[in-house]
């Protein structure tokens, strides 16, 4: 009960909240909140964070009953799909499984030092006794620390990583999140965090550029904590290793950290089992033909094996390690460059070893047919309605969203309102915000949506050209909104399965009026020729005169040579009568259209 004796509404408040966010929760203007704070002796501006106790006092005075927010435990196992190779591994005989080298990928904001760090680690392994100069860049390499091998994917940036995830074959066991100590958490850092979380891969933070005068490691740790990566020296679970790639400082520490995290995981494979893995990169060269770098994830790949990666296949004629040395076989976690495939496979494709070329060809033909069928079936995009259907069948337990907005100021209330929906209690299913960001919808957002089964929302902002094309080809729906209320309302409807279909007019034909005849007492019919498509008896007609529509409605009669017909096609003549219209003029265009109900926007 509030002070005024009326029933008060229970609201959940987090441990800290900005004045703006609080105003949204209280459905009040920020000015009123600020006034109330002032009355309680707290001077705060709209963007200021206030603690739970302060927010609670203000909320109570404004007629609400505040309770501490129930922090939902992160349930990463619900996000994303389990990569195919992991599913396959689960079928392996437990007894046969053996430790393999952890596979590491580096993600982070551009210029924070991913390439530098990968290079320095690569060279450290040379300095520590590996023979020969390393000149090959095959997309992955191995190093040895404390006598244990570690595999690095050295195509930095998350393009490769997400491409791999998108095909369900993502191969990294651990992500190194590279964050420059002088720049801190940036937009791509946040994206990288979302990617790693969605892929359920643990992160170690490499706090790079610690040598710089303007490095502010403690501030960056604070930012990391705000992203849910609480550093271990702050009693959190995230190992944060301060280092400098250029000064070669802290390199041992990061390798140490990798082994430490790996020890807590089951990084296993069966070297004797079925051979499969992931394509890391591939190219075609004049001299060698198709060269593909493969990461073996189970079994032992041998020279002479027939490899099949999606639609590309062939017998391995030659096989090299990352130093460019010819090798005969490669076990789990070993990256190899192979020669002999007939086509260039895509990075991220899963590969397997099959009996022989004939078997490979048979599977490829099957896959090509299946792909054609799929294209025919799936012409639509993943709409909110379809998502809801999947929720109902239990395929997904939540509506997943990737949200982009023009400015931070609009993003905050959207997120706050959507999270309110989640805690509303009425719905059995919730909203899961996979990623938020400022700026246009990018390729990366589409990737993220694709891999997480999410839809993309653009608030006051649309996709860039690449993202738009990709959304079309991958069938990802981008919904644009200008009004927060509309957005929230749609999501709410989707959660309740009440999203109303929209009626879409589909043009099926066009006819030109050649003559106008009297028919019956008052009516006139139009004598027409069909110029395009067809006119159907049960379709509707739009009468167009000089580009303007003069009438739209049902057909009352459709005749061909005085015979009633159900449809008339291109090139034929017919008489068309409309239910409530007869003022045809010679030269009018009659457009025939059907109405379809669709639930996408």
- Write down the least CB distance from residue 355 to ligand GDP, Å: 42
For ligand GDP, the closer of residues 111 and 329 by Cβ is 111
For ligand GDP, the closer of residues 108 and 332 by Cβ is 108
- Write down the least CB distance from residue 231 to ligand GDP, Å: 19
For ligand GDP, the closer of residues 246 and 325 by Cβ is 246
Q: At what angle do helices 443-452 and 158-166 cross, to 10 degrees?
A: 30
**Phi, psi (5° rounding) for residue 3?**
-60, -35
Is residue 170 a contact partner of residue 350, using CB atoms and an 8 Å limit?
A: no
- Write down the least CB distance from residue 161 to ligand GDP, Å: 13
For ligand GDP, the closer of residues 183 and 387 by Cβ is 183
- Write down the least CB distance from residue 116 to ligand GDP, Å: 3
- Write down the least CB distance from residue 259 to ligand GDP, Å: 22
| Sequence-ordered list of residues with C-beta below 8 angstroms from that of 49, at least 6 positions apart, any chain | 16, 17, 18
**Phi, psi (5° rounding) for residue 251?**
-70, -45
CA distance from start to end of the chain: 43
Residues that bind ligand GDP (CB under 6 A): 108, 110-116, 156, 178, 208-209, 211-212, 244-246
Place of tokens 């790996």: 262
- Listed in order, strand segments (DSSP E) in 209-361 are 240-242, 268-269, 276-285, 289-298, 301-302, 306-309, 312-315, 318-320, 329-330, 335-339, 350-354
- Write down the least CB distance from residue 110 to ligand GDP, Å: 5
- Write down the least CB distance from residue 216 to ligand GDP, Å: 14
For ligand GDP, the closer of residues 257 and 338 by Cβ is 257
For ligand GDP, the closer of residues 48 and 116 by Cβ is 116
For ligand GDP, the closer of residues 69 and 111 by Cβ is 111
- Rounded alpha-carbon distances, angstroms, from residue 256 to 31, 127, 204, 599: 52, 17, 11, 53
- Write down the least CB distance from residue 112 to ligand GDP, Å: 5
The rounded distance, in Å, linking the Cα atoms of 523 and 512 is 19
- CA 158 vs. chain centroid, Å, equals 12
For ligand GDP, the closer of residues 112 and 195 by Cβ is 112
| Sequence-ordered list of residues with C-beta below 8 angstroms from that of 429, at least 6 positions apart, any chain | 391, 397, 398, 399, 495
The rounded distance, in Å, linking the Cα atoms of 142 and 32 is 60
The rounded distance, in Å, linking the Cα atoms of 534 and 517 is 21
For ligand GDP, the closer of residues 86 and 212 by Cβ is 212
- Write down the least CB distance from residue 192 to ligand GDP, Å: 11
For ligand GDP, the closer of residues 203 and 491 by Cβ is 203
- Write down the least CB distance from residue 155 to ligand GDP, Å: 11
Strands, sheet with 240-242, edge to edge from the N-terminal-most edge strand: 140-145, 148-153, 103-108, 174-180, 203-208, 240-242
Q: Residue 533: enclosing H or E segment and its boundaries?
A: strand 523-536
């Amino acid at each position: 009960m509030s002070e005024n004796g009326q029933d008060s509404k229970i609201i959940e408040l987090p441990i800290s909240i900005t004045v703006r966010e609080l105003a949204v929760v209280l459905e009040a203007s920020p000015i009123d909140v600020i006034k109330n704070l002032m009355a309680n002796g707290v001077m705060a501006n709209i963007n200021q964070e206030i603690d739970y106790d302060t927010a609670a006092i203000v909320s109570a005075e404004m007629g609400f009953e505040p309770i501490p927010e129930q922090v939902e435990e992160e349930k990463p196992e619900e996000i994303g799909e389990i990569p195919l190779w992991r599913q396959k591994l689960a079928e392996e005989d437990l007894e046969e499984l053996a430790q393999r080298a952890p596979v590491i990928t580096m993600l982070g904001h551009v210029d924070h030092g991913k390439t530098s760090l990968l290079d320095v680690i690569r060279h450290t392994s040379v300095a520590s006794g590996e023979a020969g100069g390393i000149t090959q860049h095959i997309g992955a390499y191995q190093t040895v620390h404390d006598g244990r091998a570690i595999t690095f994917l050295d195509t930095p940036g998350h393009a490769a990583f997400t491409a791999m995830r998108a095909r369900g074959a993502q191969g990294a066991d651990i992500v190194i999140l590279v964050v420059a100590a002088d720049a801190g958490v940036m937009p791509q850092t946040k994206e990288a965090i979302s990617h790693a979380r969605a892929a359920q891969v643990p992160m170690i933070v490499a706090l790079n550029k610690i040598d710089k005068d303007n490095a502010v490691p403690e501030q960056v740790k604070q930012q990391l904590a705000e992203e849910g990566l609480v550093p271990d020296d702050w009693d959190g679970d995230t190992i944060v290793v301060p280092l400098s790639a250029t000064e070669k400082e802290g390199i041992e520490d990061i390798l140490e950290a990798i082994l430490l995290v790996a020890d807590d995981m089951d990084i296993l494979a069966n070297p004797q089992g079925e051979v499969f893995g992931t394509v890391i990169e591939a190219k075609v060269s004049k001299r060698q033909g198709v060269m593909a770098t493969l990461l073996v994830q189970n079994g032992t790949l041998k020279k002479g094996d027939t490899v099949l990666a999606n639609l590309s296949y062939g017998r391995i004629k030659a096989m090299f390690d990352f130093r460019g040395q010819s090798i005969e076989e490669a076990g789990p976690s070993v990256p190899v460059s192979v020669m002999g495939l007939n086509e260039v496979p895509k990075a991220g494709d899963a590969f397997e070893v099959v009996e022989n070329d004939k078997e490979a060809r048979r599977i490829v033909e099957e896959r090509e047919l299946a792909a054609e069928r799929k294209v025919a079936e799936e012409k639509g995009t993943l709409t909110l309605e379809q998502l809801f259907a999947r929720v109902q069948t239990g395929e997904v337990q939540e509506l997943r969203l990737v949200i982009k907005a023009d400015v931070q100021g609009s993003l905050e209330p959207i997120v706050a309102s959507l999270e309110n929906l989640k805690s509303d209690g009425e719905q059995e299913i919730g909203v899961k915000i996979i990623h938020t960001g400022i700026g246009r919808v990018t390729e990366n957002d589409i990737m993220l949506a694709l891999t997480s089964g999410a839809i993309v929302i653009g608030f006051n902002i649309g996709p860039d050209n690449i993202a738009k094309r990709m959304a079309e080809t991958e069938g990802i729906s981008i919904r644009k909104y200008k009004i927060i209320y509309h957005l929230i309302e749609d999501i709410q409807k989707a959660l309740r399965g009440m999203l109303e279909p929209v009626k879409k007019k589909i043009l099926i034909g066009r006819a030109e009026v050649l003559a106008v005849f009297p028919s019956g007492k008052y009516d006139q019919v139009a004598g027409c020729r069909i110029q395009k498509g067809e006119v159907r008896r049960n379709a509707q007609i739009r009468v167009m005169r000089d580009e303007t529509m003069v009438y739209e409605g049902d057909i009352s009669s459709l005749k061909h040579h005085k015979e009633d017909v159900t449809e008339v096609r291109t090139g034929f003549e017919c008489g068309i009568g409309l239910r409530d219209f007869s003022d045809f003029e010679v030269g009018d265009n009659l457009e025939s259209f059907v109405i379809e109900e669709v639930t996408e926007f």
